[in-house]
Chain A
Amino acid sequence: MLRLIDASKTFHPGTVHEKHALEHVNLTIPDGDFVTIIGSNGAGKSTLFNAVAGSFLLDEGFIELDGRDITFEKEHDRSRYIGRLFQDPMMGTAPNMTIEENLSVAFLRASEPKKSIFSRVSKEEHKMFRERLSLLKMDLENRMDTPVGLLSGGQRQALTLLMATVVTPKLLLLDEHTAALDPATAEKVLALTKEIIEEKKISCLMVTHNMQQALTLGNRTLMMADGRIVLDVSGQERAAMQVEDLLRRFAENAGKALDNDRILLSGREGN
């Protein structure tokens, strides 16, 4: 279970560029929840993710994961149990290292750091990597010695997804991870994401700019504006909702219309 308690973050405090990116956010995500997040430009979605992942420390408030306070834990320590995918497929992988080497680095999280710094990829691990790669159905299992830089964006993002989940994380943060892919590839990566999340029962937060997706994926939808969560729907109420309802509720709660230059009202990318 993830808990944000009174979490606040202000960028450039005391200057004209002062920005309250998170304002006293309180949020509880029970285990197994798949939460979609939608919001205006600069609403604080990415800041929320950065705060949870530990890219910076909060100005105020606390973050708890499974009852443990991780507010002051370093980013590389948190990444042992928090997986993360970015919009840019280039960010999640090392281009000059092979597919297998990238997976081995990701698999580091599973091992005790002190025990095995000199160990190498074992035969069983190699086999396991092969099996997991074959689940992607991209023929990557036969190209394990290929540098990742030679793969397409979709292949890299699918590999990143595999790397983030090769050791089951307690929490998966997806920051518009299909937004930079072409529609067909985006759909494939999204289907893989759903498959892996359901199979491993990973709690997941996903930022999307696709309104339809925000309602159909997962079991709960958050809307953010000006560093606050202005709408939090789930269950029956969410199931009955249409995109128009979502927009209306947002405007009521945020006091203004949703303003995102990339927002998609329909279900399909590019339509």
Chain B
Amino acid sequence: MPLAIFQTALDNGLIYALIALSLFISFTILNICDLSTDGCYMLGAAVGVAVTIAGHPVLAIFAAMAAGIISGFTTALLQTRFGVQSILAGIIVNTALYTINLFVMGMKTNLNVVGKKTIYDLVAGLGGSPFWKAWHRSIFLFLLLIVIALLINWFLKTRLGLSIRATGDSSAMVSASSINPAFTVTVGLCIGGALTGMAGSLIGQYNKNCEINMGTGMVTIALASLIIGQTLFGRGKMVTRIFGTIAGSVIYRFIIALALRINVPTQAFKLVSAVIVAIAIATPAARKMIAERKDKHDRLKKRKEMLLTEERGM
């Protein structure tokens, strides 16, 4: 794999890992299917690019996170206070965000960062060596993800973090433990929104561009990353599972890069993603099925041999 492709896959994997982490909190920890991810990611990209164009690349990231929090809060409000089913709440917010994203982008379907500095330009300015010039984005994103992973790990061990984990783990216990599930779900979805919005802003600045449909299918991709990570590292400690999710996202990007490398047409990209998700989810069950079949085959064979010896003995 040529270096440039490797590097892009790594960078993208690290950025999309933020969305996978968002789903780690909503899907794995809280046991909620939050389908507002596509729109929330796009919102982050739109806000991020718009603020970058205004000349504030760092503020762009925080603004995108704030926008993501508002999106997560709205989704949470619908399901905790107004009894909307969680999947439906996500779909409603996702639909509404399409229009809101158009508003943010000034009713255009495309925004480009031209002649303005991005966060990566700022990072590049920190060093002068050719190595730094080539790798500053990967190093910056790598360090950023480590900090965020450690923060999430720390947070999930605090009282509030434990309450959020209990909410997704045992609803009966939660009502008997003075935890308000409406509050913990809201906090969890707001954190998820912040992470997704941040990812959007980082991608927007990375590509110096955003396009109104770039969020489509993002939830599938993030889910694929999450499941790859949980399949490979899902049984360990919390910190392993968090870093496993990030690794899952990077691995996913490498698989995609490899698929493109062996001349799978770009039009088939979404199909490839869907197939990877299906394979990743199906793998444990398939493995069990094969093992059971083999076991059955072996034991039946043994039984047949036993019967044969019995016959001979008689």
Interface residues of A (CB under 8 A from B): 53, 55, 74-77, 79-80, 83-84, 86, 90-97, 101-102, 104-106, 108-109, 111, 116-121, 163-164
Secondary structure at the B interface, as helix, strand, loop or mixed, is: helix
How distant is the Cα of A116 from the Cα of B159 in the complex, in angstroms? Answer: 7
* B160 A117 Cβ-Cβ under 8 A: yes
Of B162, B166, B177, B180, the most chain A CB neighbours within 10 A belong to B177
Among the listed A92, A111, A117, A119, which residue makes an inter-chain contact with B176, where contact means beta carbons less than 8 Å apart?
A92
Take A105-B162, A117-B158, A119-B159 as given contacts and tell me if A76 and B175 are in contact as well, using a CB distance cutoff of 8 Å. Answer: yes
**B281 contacts the other chain (Cβ, under 8 Å)?**
no
Which residue from chain B places its CB closest to the CB of A104 in the assembled complex?
B162
Contact flag A95-B180 (CB < 8 Å), given A104-B162, A118-B158, A118-B159: no
- B246 CB to closest chain A CB (Å) equals 21
Task: List the count of A-B residue pairs having beta carbons below 8 Å apart.
Answer: 81
- Is B309 interfacial (CB-CB < 8 Å)? no
Query: Of B157, B165, B172, which one neighbours A92 at CB under 8 angstroms?
Result: B172
- Are B180 and A94 touching (Cβ within 8 A)? no
CB 8 Å contact bits of B156-188 with A (1 = contact, 0 = none):
011110110110011011111111110000000
Given A94-B166, A95-B170, A97-B165, do A120 and B176 touch, yes or no (CB 8 Å)? no
B151 shortest CB reach to chain A, Å:
12
Question: Nearest chain A CB to B301's CB is how many angstroms away?
Answer: 35
Once the chains bind, are B159 and A92 in contact (CB under 8 Å)?
A: no
Q: Which residue of B lies closest to A109 (CB)?
A: B178
How many positions in chain B have a CB within 8 Å of any CB in the partner chain? 21
**Which of B158, B169, B180 is the most central at the interface, judged by chain A CB atoms within 10 Å of its CB?**
B169
* Interchain CB contact under 8 A, A94 and B178: no
Most A C-beta atoms less than 10 A away, residue of B158, B159, B176, B178: B176
Q: Is the CB of B158 within 8 A of A80?
A: no
- Contact across chains for A91 and B172 when beta carbons are under 8 A apart: yes
Q: Is the Cβ of B158 less than 8 Å from the Cβ of A79? A: no
Given contacts A76-B179, A79-B178, A97-B165, contact A91 B173 (CB under 8 A): yes
B178 contact from A80, A93, A104, A118, Cβ within 8 A: A80
Chain B nearest CB, measured from A85 CB (Å): 8
Chain B positions 277 through 290: 1 when the CB is less than 8 Å from some CB of chain A, otherwise 0: 00000000000000
Q: Is the CB of A105 within 8 A of B179?
A: yes
**Cα(A129)–Cα(B181), bound, Å:** 25
Of B160, B175, B179, which is within 8 A of A55 by CB? B175
Chain B positions within 8 Å of A108 at CB level = 159, 162-163, 177-179
